[in-house]
A and B are shown apart, each in its own frame.
Chain A
Amino acid sequence: MNTPLRRLSVAIVLLFGLLLLNANYLQVVRAKALHNDSHNPRLIAEEYSRERGPILVGPKPVARSVATDDRLKYLRQYADGPLYAPATGFYSLVYGASGMEQEANSILAGTDDSLFVRRIVDLLTGAQPKGGSVALTLDAAAQKAAYDDLRGRRGAVVALDPSTGAILAMVSSPSYDPNLISGHDPAKVRANYDRLSNKASRPMLDRALRQTYPPGSTFKLVTAAAALESGRYTPDSHVDNAPLLDLPQTSADLPNENGGPCTSGTATLTVALENSCNVAFGKLGLELGDDALRAQAQKFGFDRAFEVPIRSVASHFPEDPNLPQTAQSAIGQFDVRATPLQMAMVVAAIANRGVLMAPYLQQEVRGPDLSIIETTKPRTLGTAVSPQTAAELTAMMVKVVEEGTGTNGQIPGVSVAGKTGTAQTGGGRSPHAWFVSFAPANDPKVAVAVIVENGGGVAEVTGNQVAGPIANDVMRAVLHK
């Protein structure tokens, strides 16, 4: 019997060998993937046992961790939660993290490689590791002005520093309180989340970065830029002054908003922008062609998403419009879609002598001891228009605010450049009200885009009446006027 016993022993050795091999595979090869799996609750417990770093606006923490005496040692709290929700996002046991909480997680949690030396020190001294902090580019006054003005309405505001791309304001309305989703009671968190996601007003949608709208007349800036860049037009070029544009290939017409001719005097490109004439710009679009319009739009950033580091959705110019659709697109209708961020970038590029800067929300990263570890360097995305075109567009936009459709953008003692928009939404609902602007026109410090969905409930509106005052407040907040 000893031969089969020896063979059985060999078989046993093989069985144990398999177990040992598999254990090595699990705990060495797969170890990291298993540990970092999002379903692994150990990760969360580990994260919550550390003091997560704050998110700062200026010197003020808008998100911070406070010690608790329950099972998870730290609770995430948001001061002015709804005001900063689109930027901070939430930090939830149940739903993970969003916004900067997600994008800057490794820094906030203290696991980022840039905090490596610090971690080693903690390890040696036995101190409980702390997370680093993230300072945002937001201007507290501008953010608050925009938020207060949008209260009770649906819409968004984005304000940029034109020379750097830093995001000074990023507001979405209505908003939500991230504290509701970042609590430690999973049942309550789920109930709150369900309630918020079922609301018709969609408070958790970041309208500033992640919602596209028809840009309406604010898109005429892009059409005007394409015209000037083509070399065939100057601000004084004569444009079509008819009350109606007969759209080719269809029986439809494109009228001016006032139903009459654009101006009683001579219709130049400047006057057409001042009065936001649909006929003139529709005609321009036809003359330039959809390829030129699309190329210009893309130079401003259309058709691509941005990571600020929160990811925006891409704005869009139609791929292959026919002639009537091209005319409609030239005035920001048909299938043209833009995020508030995108329209802010359009005016910011014009303000910055035609140079488009990458938008960013994260100003700097600091270690747990507040030492600065990393500062975001402004980054150029490209040249949208030549400095000359930029200067000409600026002059035209100043006219819009001074004597055209955008008078509500005026700030005493400051030269403001702007453009209004009233975007048809179809379905019998009142149009969206837009206002895009920058100031001071000669030395721009702030560029802003405002949208109020469906005119904030007013039936017949123009961007000037509804969105203009909001843009005005935001610009003044940045300029301390």
Chain B
Amino acid sequence: MSARSSARTRNPRTVELAMLVFSLVVSMGAYAAVGLAHDGRLPEGMFGYGVGLAVLFGAAHVTLRRFAPDADPLLLPTVTTLNGLGLAMIHRLDLAYADKAHQLGHPVPSAAAPAQLTWTAVGVGLFVAVLLLVRDHRVLQRFTYTAMLLGLGLLLLPLLPVVGGTINGAKIWVRVAGFSFQPGELAKIVLLVFFAGYLVAKRDVLALASRRVAGIDLPRARDLGPVIVAWAASLAVLVFERDLGTSLLFFGVFIALLYVATERLSWLLIGVLLFAFGSYLAYSLFGHVQERVDIWLHAFAPSNIDSDSYQLVQGLFGMGSGGLLGKGLGLGRPDIVPYAQTDFIVAAFGEELGLTGLMAILLLYAIVVQRGMRTAIAVRDSFGKLLAAGLAFSVALQVFVVVGGVTRLIPLTGLTMPFLSYGGSSLVANWMLIALLARISDAARRPAPPPAPSLEDAKTQVVRL
């Protein structure tokens, strides 16, 4: 918990500014490379685009400087780099889709990159808003049960008759006034607040052991309730919304936080057993789950390769063609892979930037997650620890599920890649997620003398009474 015991080193915001400039150079470089590959010259709107990005990134930076001066300096530059790379790739695919439409004489589809840029602006706006509104992350603990209701509400929204919508078999969309939104992404953050608040309140009870079996302390049977509820809720998401990824993500993060809160390995074991049982149930009962597994196991089977596993296999081909160094941005054929702008954007990067680029991108995520986990370890209050760990782990798990699915390590589940994938809901939610992490890290790294050390215990007692 030694945030910065060694006197004042460099101002973190100065480090952040330097890194942001670098991030801007990477983003602009990617955009320029796309233009050079497609037209043989620098894109026309490049200057305006650069200024726009600089203003957005700068606004986020100034907000941190003013309202969270001690926040981790790596979080913001890392996610702006990812966001910038994603914008370049989405633009690159826009160009390919437009070319194809021209050749076939079809109407040109509307470009996704300008929309994504708009959503980036909205995301940065909400990043600023969260930092302005949440001056102390511990305030959120007060909204534990509100968060639960809100989170469940958001999750269930797509199931409502009028606003709910199905896209590609998954019922995870809400349509209001011409906008479609995936509330699951926002629900992720809200439910993390609930998980953290709930587990802080109940951790002592949940940590009570009833029996010791084979060196593991088993919890009391009556304390199994919350786990069963989380498990059932995850299965419900899977069954009613057909959203394998979200289901996996929620349950995984809940179990991880349960373990962190109680320090009991038995919860982890119970979680794994429930996961195995749930997977088995889902597999034996639902055709769409069986299909996913079949695609995964028999991706190259002649019966699958041109139909069910086409997307996965084409992504693998792209990454294989990319090899070590990639085809070069704008020089491959990532447009062959269906949904290259969203679920399969990782395959597009693997093809054009190669293994080198893909590993660099994975390491960027690893930095975000690692800074999040460091924040969790460094921050003093239990709620902050759980919330930071939950936010960081959710990013890690989401990256694992998406990249693992696209690279055929695990079955495909269909989640977006945070910051890279096209999609407003995901982008905006992840900007808010980073704002919360920045807020907690600001508290964790603040060198000031600690507030009353009993505060944490006192709060816990207040809730318990």
Tell me the A residues contacting B by CB distance below 8 Å.
Answer: 1-6, 8-9, 12, 15-16, 18-20, 22-24, 26-28, 30-35, 37, 39-42, 45, 70-71
Contact = CB atoms under 8 A, between A and B. Distances in A.
B362 interface: yes
Given A20-B362, A35-B317, A42-B317, A27 B305 contact: no
A9 B373 contact: yes
B318 to A, nearest CB: 7
Given A16-B362, A19-B362, A35-B323, A27 B354 contact: yes
Contact of A3 (B263, B306, B323): B263
A23 B350 contact: yes
B96 to A, nearest CB: 11
Contacts of B260: 1, 4-5, 8
B98 to A, nearest CB: 13
Given A19-B399, A45-B333, A27 B319 contact: yes
A26 B299 CA distance: 14
A5 B322 contact: no
Contacts of A42: 317-318, 321, 332-333, 336
B419 interface: no
A63 to B, nearest CB: 25
A20 B1 CA distance: 31
Nearest to B400: A15
A12 B369 CA distance: 8
B404 A19 contact: yes
B396 A12 contact: yes
B260 to A, nearest CB: 4
Given A8-B393, A16-B366, A22-B407, 7 more contacts: A19-B403, A26-B407, A27-B350, A31-B320, A34-B319, A40-B320, A42-B333
Contacts of A8: 256, 259-260, 373, 389, 393
A37 B362 contact: no
B293 interface: no
Contacts, number: 134
* Secondary structure dominating the interface of A: helix
18 contacts: A3-B263, A6-B377, A8-B256, A8-B259, A8-B260, A9-B377, A12-B366, A12-B370, A16-B396, A19-B403, A19-B404, A19-B409, A20-B359, A23-B359, A28-B323, A31-B321, A41-B333, A42-B332
B382 interface: yes
A340 B212 CA distance: 85
Give the 6 A-B CB pairs with smallest separation, nearest first: A34-B320, A27-B355, A40-B317, A31-B323, A4-B260, A35-B321
Interface of B: 1, 100, 103, 256, 259-261, 263, 305-306, 313-314, 316-324, 332-333, 336, 350, 354-355, 358-359, 362, 365-366, 369-370, 373, 376-377, 382, 385-386, 389, 392-393, 396-397, 399-400, 403-404, 407-409
Contact of B317 (A15, A22, A23, A39): A39
B382 A26 contact: no
Nearest to A29: B320
A9 B317 contact: no
A33 B316 CA distance: 11
User: Would you call the interface of chain B mostly helix, strand, loop, or mixed?
Assistant: helix
Contacts of B386: 1
A26 B263 contact: no
A2 B377 contact: yes
A145 B394 CA distance: 76
A37 B320 CA distance: 10
B357 to A, nearest CB: 10
B103 A70 contact: yes
Contacts of B259: 4, 8
Given A28-B324, A35-B320, A5 B350 contact: no
Nearest to B258: A4
Nearest to A12: B396
A422 B324 CA distance: 63
A34 B355 contact: no
Contacts of A24: 355
A4 B262 CA distance: 9
Contacts of A40: 314, 317, 320-321
A37 B299 CA distance: 13
Contacts of A9: 370, 373, 377
A80 to B, nearest CB: 31
Contact of B320 (A2, A16, A30): A30
Contacts of A1: 260-261, 263, 382, 385-386
Contacts of A32: 320, 323
A357 B78 CA distance: 70
Contacts of A39: 305-306, 313, 317
B42 to A, nearest CB: 19
Nearest to B373: A9
Contact of A23 (B256, B373, B407): B407
B373 A34 contact: no
A4 B257 CA distance: 9
Given A12-B369, A22-B404, A28 B355 contact: yes
B318 A5 contact: no
B360 to A, nearest CB: 11
Given A8-B373, A23-B362, A27-B350, A37 B263 contact: no
B390 to A, nearest CB: 10
Contact of A12 (B318, B321, B359, B393): B393
Contacts of A4: 259-260, 263
Contacts of B382: 1
Contact of A27 (B313, B324, B336): B324
B354 to A, nearest CB: 7
A191 to B, nearest CB: 19
A32 B324 CA distance: 11
Contacts of A30: 316, 320
A229 to B, nearest CB: 50
A41 B350 contact: no
Contacts of A16: 362, 365-366, 369, 396, 399-400
A135 B286 CA distance: 59
Contacts of B366: 12, 16
A40 B322 CA distance: 12
A33 B385 contact: no
A3 to B, nearest CB: 7
